Structure 1
Amino acid sequence: MQEKEAKLDLSTVVVIADIVSDETEERSSEWRHDLEKSSLGTVAAITQAIESLGISALHLSSLDALTERASQRFPGDVVLSIFGGERSRNRMALVPAICESFDMRFIGPDVYGRVVCQDKEISKMLASQCGMITPWHRIVRNETDLDRLGSVPFPVVVKPNMEGSSIGISERCRVEDSAQMQEIARELLREFNQPVLVEKFVGGREVSVNVIEACDGMEMRFAEIKIAGHPHYFEGHLFGMEAKAPWIGLEVTPLDEKIAEQDIGAISRLLETVGHVGYCRIDGKLFNGRFHFLELTPDAWLDPEGAFAQSFTYCGWSYSQVLRSILASESVNHRRPASNG
Structure 2
Amino acid sequence: MHIVLSFNQSVAEEDDQPPSLKQLNTQHTPQDLYAEWDDIETIQAVAEALGQEHQVSLVNADLDAFAKFRALRPDLVFNMAEGLYGGSRESQIPAMLEMLQIPYTGSDPVTLGICLDKLRTKEILTFHQIPNPAFVQLRHASDLPVHFNFPVLVKPTLEGSSKGITDKSLVHNAMELQIQLDSVWSGYQQPALVEEFLCGREFTVALIGNGTAVQVLPIVEIDLSTLPAGANPIYSYEAKWLWDTEIAPLQIFHCPAQLEPLLQRKIEDLCRKAFIHLGCRDWCRVDVRLDASGHPQIIEVNPLPGVLPRPEQNSCFPKAARAAGLSYPEMILSVVNAACERLDLVEKNDAHRCLL
Q: 1:277-301: CA deviations, max 9, x gaps?
A: 2100001213444222101000000
Paired letter, 2:53: G
2:220 matched residue in structure 1: 223
Q: Do the aligned residues in 2 keep the contact of 1:205 with 1:286 (CA within 8 Å)? A: yes
Q: Are 1:150 and 2:125 matched, yes or no?
A: no
2:57 matched residue in structure 1: 58
More moved, 92-101 vs 299-308 = 299-308
Q: 1:110 aligns with which of 103, 108, 117?
A: 108
1:299 matched residue in structure 2: 304
More moved, 125-134 vs 39-48 = 125-134
Q: Are 1:135 and 2:152 matched, yes or no?
A: no
Q: 1:13 aligns with which of 3, 27, 30?
A: 3
Paired letter, 1:102: L
Question: Whole-Å Cα distance in 2 between the matches of residues 190 and 49 of structure 1?
Answer: 41
Count of aligned pairs between the two proteins = 315
Name stretches of at least 5 consecutive residues in structure 1 with no aligned partner.
1-10, 24-28, 336-341
Name stretches of at least 5 consecutive residues in structure 2 with no aligned partner.
14-28, 345-356
1:99 matched residue in structure 2: 97
2:328 matched residue in structure 1: 319
More moved, 83-92 vs 300-309 = 83-92
Q: CA RMSD in A?
A: 2.7
Alpha carbons of structure 1 residues 67 and 234: separation in structure 2 relative to 1, 3 Å: farther
Q: Are 1:71 and 2:70 matched, yes or no?
A: yes
Alpha carbons of structure 1 residues 215 and 89: separation in structure 2 relative to 1, 3 Å: closer
Q: Do the aligned residues in 2 keep the contact of 1:280 with 1:298 (CA within 8 Å)? A: yes
Alpha carbons of structure 1 residues 255 and 209: separation in structure 2 relative to 1, 3 Å: same
TM-score under structure 1 length normalisation: 0.84
More moved, 293-302 vs 192-201 = 192-201
Q: Are 1:255 and 2:250 matched, yes or no?
A: no
Paired letter, 2:332: L
Q: Do the aligned residues in 2 keep the contact of 1:185 with 1:196 (CA within 8 Å)? A: yes
> What is the Cα deviation at residue 131 of structure 1?
3.3
> What is the Cα deviation at residue 205 of structure 1?
2.1
Paired letter, 1:199: E
> What is the Cα deviation at residue 243 of structure 1?
1.7
SS at match of 2:203: strand
Alpha carbons of structure 1 residues 204 and 235: separation in structure 2 relative to 1, 3 Å: farther
Q: Which has the higher contact order (CA 8 A, sep 6+)?
A: 1
Structure with more helix by fraction = 2
1:7 matched residue in structure 2: none
Q: Do the aligned residues in 1 keep the contact of 2:3 with 2:55 (CA within 8 Å)? A: yes
SS at match of 2:129: coil
Structure with more strand by fraction = 1
Paired letter, 1:95: I
Q: 1:181-210: CA deviations, max 9, x gaps?
A: 011101211221122101122122221111
2:155 matched residue in structure 1: 159
Task: Write out aligned runs for 1:185-196 (5 A).
Answer: 185-196=181-192
Q: 1:124 aligns with which of 88, 99, 122?
A: 122
TM-score under structure 2 length normalisation: 0.81
Question: Whole-Å Cα distance in 1 between the matches of residues 2 and 230 of structure 2?
Answer: 41
SS at match of 1:95: helix
More moved, 260-269 vs 239-248 = 260-269
1:308 matched residue in structure 2: 317
SS at match of 1:256: coil
Q: Percent identity?
A: 21
